[in-house]
Structure 1
Amino acid sequence: MFVASQLDRLLDLGLAELAGVDEDQLVESFGGDLLCTTGLLAVHPSLVPAARLTALLERGGKPGFVVPDMTDLAAFGPIPQVEVPDTPLYVVTGVERGDDLRDVSPDEALPRILERGRTPLILTEGISWLLQQPAVLEPNHCFMTIGSRKPKGAGYDKRVPAIWISGGAPRDGGLERDGAPKVGWCWAGNRHTWLGHASAAGRQAGAALTA
């Protein structure tokens, strides 16, 4: 899918309004050769934070949501091994769900991804992917975004963000959210047979917004 068509979709979803910027300004800032390329058009968390971007997700007529016990989601940022372009929108190439890394813990998955010369997705990239291709999120085939962690002391908080499908549990808000896209977390040392570890081949910067 060309980047230009992805930008159109994001604008149709109300990205400019959500970000508090002029739509024409957002389009002009990303003009150029990248619009004619393929890859994933990712929304930088500085443009729209993950919690707000999640609300644009939809599955079966139900909007996405963040689990209620993840009120500190804004504190999760890219790990040092991940270089995110400092532009509001940018392109991520070679995105994979990481199905071959299911039943592997985040702690185990990160070195494997890096050894392959790939880079783990951050949470807003995972959300951006699902905004363009909702069908990527399948029952028993969901994914973690281990490129995002919350600093704690000399290391990280033990929680790692993930995106999967809600089963309508009480902690999710009940049956009205059954089947909805869900941003939650899993422990860094735990393995899950239904969660892969999403990664990409690389990233390309867009353009900066001008006043």
Structure 2
Amino acid sequence: MTALPVAACPTEAELEFDRQIDALALTGLPEHLDLAENCFRASLEPLRDLLPPVRADRPGPGFVVVVPHLPVVPVLESVHTVGGAGFTTMADDDLARFGPLPELDIPTGPYLLLDVDPGADTLNVPPGEVLPRLTAAGRSPLTVAEGLAVLVSDPGVLRGRNCFSLAGSRAGDKRVPALWISARRPRLGWCYQGAPHTWLGTASCAGRLGDPPLA
């Protein structure tokens, strides 16, 4: 009698990957990107081969799935906490001015953000002072799209850990976008690069995996 093949059990990383894809789909991203949901999910599937193992010695899953060029306001408003939906008071044309720093070499398609740190050790330190430290440590500041991906993957991150600046996106001036809690709701706004805030760190990651991969 021929033995039936044994189905492979998904790894902890694969289960986390599937959970994050479900969360992204629930934001309405497939519709906003004019994709059928199955096509949206298929576009992210190649990232499964790049998943790092989930490690017990660090907080969080070790990776966050990012879709670049996502519609900021609809995704932000899809995230709900105890106080209600995420929001911003920034005008659409002002938001559009904030783009990734060229030196970050962001992958062109969906990618994995590795070892995200919301920056608890940089609380009350101006983002402008944190950036050289990150570079020296071989880390990279997060962009607006990456910050939203972190928020979608864990809506409680701003309360459970700390609020954070997204110094990887800039508008050519002294402003730095940031995510924080306002009226118990996630809020996207900005602070000046030289201004310290006791409740605001600067988020960073260890790297990005996607197409093209970073050198």
Deviation at 1:31, TM superposition (A): 2.1
Moved over 3 A (4+): 68-71
Partner of 2:33: 19
The whole-number CA distance in structure 1 between the counterparts of 2:47 and 2:128 is 37
Percent identity over paired residues: 37
Aligned equivalent of 2:189, options 163, 173, 184 = 184
The whole-number CA distance in structure 2 between the counterparts of 1:73 and 1:61 is 23
The whole-number CA distance in structure 1 between the counterparts of 2:149 and 2:95 is 16
1:90 aligned onto 2:95:
no
Report the AA paired with residue 180 of structure 2. Answer: W
Q: Deviations over 1:84-139 (max 9, x none)?
A: 1000x211000001110111111101111111000100011111111111121118
Give the TM-score taking structure 1 as reference length.
0.82
Which secondary structure does the structure 1 equivalent of 2:106 belong to? coil
Please say if residues 3 and 35 of structure 1, whose CA atoms lie closer than 8 Å, have aligned partners that are also in contact.
Answer: no
Structure 1 residue runs without a partner (length 5+)? 151-155, 167-177
Partner of 1:53: 75
Deviation at 1:69, TM superposition (A): 5.7
Deviation at 1:36, TM superposition (A): 7.1
Partner of 1:172: none
Structure 1 residues 33, 128: closer, same or farther in 2, change over 3 A?
closer
**Counterparts of 1:62-73 in structure 2 under 5 Å?**
62-68=84-90, 71-73=93-95
Moved more, 136-145 or 54-63: 136-145
The whole-number CA distance in structure 2 between the counterparts of 1:92 and 1:36 is 11
Aligned equivalent of 1:113, options 134, 139, 146 = 134
Partner of 1:28: 42
Partner of 1:128: 149
The whole-number CA distance in structure 1 between the counterparts of 2:18 and 2:105 is 23
Q: Deviations over 1:40-94 (max 9, x none)?
A: 001212xx2323321122111511111246751111001123121000x211000
Calculate the aligned-residue CA RMSD, in Å.
Answer: 2.1
Deviation at 1:205, TM superposition (A): 1.0
Structure 2 residue runs without a partner (length 5+)? 1-12, 53-62
Deviation at 1:180, TM superposition (A): 0.8
Structure 1 residues 83, 76: closer, same or farther in 2, change over 3 A?
same
Moved more, 61-70 or 11-20: 61-70
The whole-number CA distance in structure 2 between the counterparts of 1:111 and 1:163 is 21
Partner of 2:8: none
Please say if residues 59 and 180 of structure 1, whose CA atoms lie closer than 8 Å, have aligned partners that are also in contact.
Answer: yes
Aligned equivalent of 2:164, options 121, 139, 143 = 143
Aligned equivalent of 2:65, options 28, 34, 41 = 41
The whole-number CA distance in structure 1 between the counterparts of 2:72 and 2:211 is 19
Which secondary structure does the structure 2 equivalent of 1:143 belong to? strand
